[in-house]
């Protein structure tokens, strides 16, 4: 039999994270809403730093970061569980002590300059592959890096880059040999903002404020190549694939919080002499939401478990990401419906969740791309039906 229960250690970490989110983070939601509706960012840098300091004091630091870099090294499953708990709030807070997975591919010098300061919270990074003409088709990027002596000169534009406006260095992917294509002609560079790239915020319907990055003759030394020259696309797919299960993990937390709100409202809102929880239409929306959330939870933990076992989890992650994104949007729509007109107003946070969760079906691989990936894996025999694990 498969044991789905958490170990004592896992349960203790989950409970600590849940308590921290409830005690320290959720109470800030009112302030975040007020700030955002006044045109300001959710929380200022000082508040986020203070929260991370409190989390670190509670032992919540580097959940999935190797111990040699000061992390807890609890693995992908615990990282997913932590994301489920932090997903219960829309306050833009992340536990510290982590860095992008591909930064571990750096040289000792690069780790000292980029990886370790990022883990310590002294530096902020962003990952830049998406371009105005290359979104889902990452192989179509046009940003060029041209060799000039011991340096490379980068020209091009990246778009919809998460943390692109806040980061002080970027992992940027550029074409270094157009004749070789994506599998041998794209290279990843570590580029400090001080080297000359600039960013502009892109307004969106949610709180996510990605950046548009411009590289105009940005000169980068060859020592700043991450990994091997020409093999950047492999790193890009590693970055995208391994962390994709964290998106549905966040979706689980948000969906559970929203469903809690719907249940509470249904029990207290009276219509035609009865709490609306007495009506079958409401009961079915609540039941369907719970069923779908539980399915996403298991799919997400399965993808995390596969990664923890050292297995390729890309197919499982695509399934979890697609299901999680679609489910979160179904749930928030039902929750808004249950709240009626008040759910549509800005007096309640439901509309805020509604706008934010819509993004899940687009970024880190659209619904359509996930379906294409899943179908391709089956049609080409990379995955066989009926397998367990």
Name the pairing type of β-strands 151-161 and 198-201.
unpaired
3-state secondary structure at position 293: helix
One-letter-per-residue 3-state SS of the chain:
CCCCCCCHHHHHHHHHHHHHHHHHHHHHHHHHHHHHHCCCCCCCHHHHHHHHHHHHHCCCCCCCCCHHHCCCCCHHHHHHHHHHHHCCCCCCCCCCCCCCHHHHHCCHHHHHHHHHHHHCCCCCEEEECCECCECCCHHHCCCEEEEECCEEEEEEEEEEECCCCCCCEEEEEEECCCCCCHHHHEEEEEEEHHHCCEEEECCCCCCCCCEEEEEEEEEEEHHHEECCCCEHHHHHHHHHHHHCCHHHHHHHHHHHHHHHHHHHHHHHCEECCEEHHHCHHHHHHHHHHHHHHHHHHHHHHHHHHHHHCCCCCHHHHHHHHHHHHHHHHHHHHHHHHHHCHHHHCCCCCHHHHHHHHHHHHCCCCCHHHHHHHHHHHHHCCCCCCCCCC
3-state secondary structure at position 348: coil
CA–CA gap between residue 377 and residue 389 (Å, rounded)? 16
Instruction: DSSP letter for 5, please.
Output: P
Q: Given 24, 292, 364, 387, which residue is catalytic?
A: 364
Q: Which residues pair with 198 in a beta bridge?
A: 214
Active site residue 364: yes
Lookup result for tokens 């979706």: 251
The per-residue DSSP string of 6-35 comes to: PPHHHHHHHHHHHHHIIIIIGGGHHHHHHH
Q: Which residues pair with 161 in a beta bridge?
A: 211
Please give the positions annotated as active site: 364
């Amino acid at each position: 039999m498969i044991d789905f229960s958490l170990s004592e250690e896992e349960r203790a970490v989950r409970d600590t994270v849940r308590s921290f989110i409830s005690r320290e983070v959720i109470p800030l939601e009112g302030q975040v809403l007020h700030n955002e509706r006044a045109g300001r960012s959710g929380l200022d840098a000082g508040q986020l730093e203070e929260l991370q300091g409190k989390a670190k004091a509670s032992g919540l630091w580097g959940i999935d970061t190797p111990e040699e870099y000061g992390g807890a090294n609890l693995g992908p499953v615990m990282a997913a569980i932590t994301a489920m708990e932090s997903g219960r709030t829309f306050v833009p807070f992340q536990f510290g002590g982590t860095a992008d997975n591909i930064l571990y591919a750096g040289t000792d010098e690069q780790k000292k300059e980029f990886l370790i300061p990022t883990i310590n919270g002294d530096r902020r990074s962003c990952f830049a592959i998406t371009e105005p003409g290359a979104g889902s088709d990452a192989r179509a990027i046009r940003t060029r890096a041209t060799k000039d002596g011991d340096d490379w000169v980068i020209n091009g534009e990246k778009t919809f880059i998460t943390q692109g406006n806040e980061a002080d260095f970027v992992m940027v992917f550029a074409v270094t040999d157009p004749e070789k294509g994506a599998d041998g002609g794209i290279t990843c560079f570590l580029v400090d903002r001080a080297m000359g790239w600039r960013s502009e915020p892109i307004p969106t319907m949610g709180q996510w404020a990605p950046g548009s990055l411009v590289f105009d003759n940005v000169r980068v030394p060859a020592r700043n190549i991450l990994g091997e020259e020409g093999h950047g696309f492999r790193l890009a797919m590693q970055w995208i694939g391994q962390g994709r299960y964290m998106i549905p993990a966040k979706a689980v937390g948000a969906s559970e919080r929203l469903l809690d709100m719907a249940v509470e409202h249904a029990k207290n809102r009276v219509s035609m002499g009865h709490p609306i929880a007495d009506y079958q239409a409401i009961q079915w929306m609540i039941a369907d939401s719970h069923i779908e959330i539980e399915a996403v939870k298991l799919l997400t933990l399965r993808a995390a478990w596969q990664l923890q076992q050292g297995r390729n989890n890309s197919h499982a992650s695509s399934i979890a990401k697609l299901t999680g994104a679609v489910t979160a949007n179904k749930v928030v729509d039902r929750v808004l419906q249950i709240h009626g007109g008040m759910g549509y107003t800005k007096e309640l946070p439901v509309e805020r969740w509604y706008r934010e969760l819509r993004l899940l079906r687009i970024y880190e691989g659209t619904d359509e791309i996930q379906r294409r990936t899943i179908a391709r894996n089956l049609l080409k025999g990379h995955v066989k039906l009926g397998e367990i694990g």
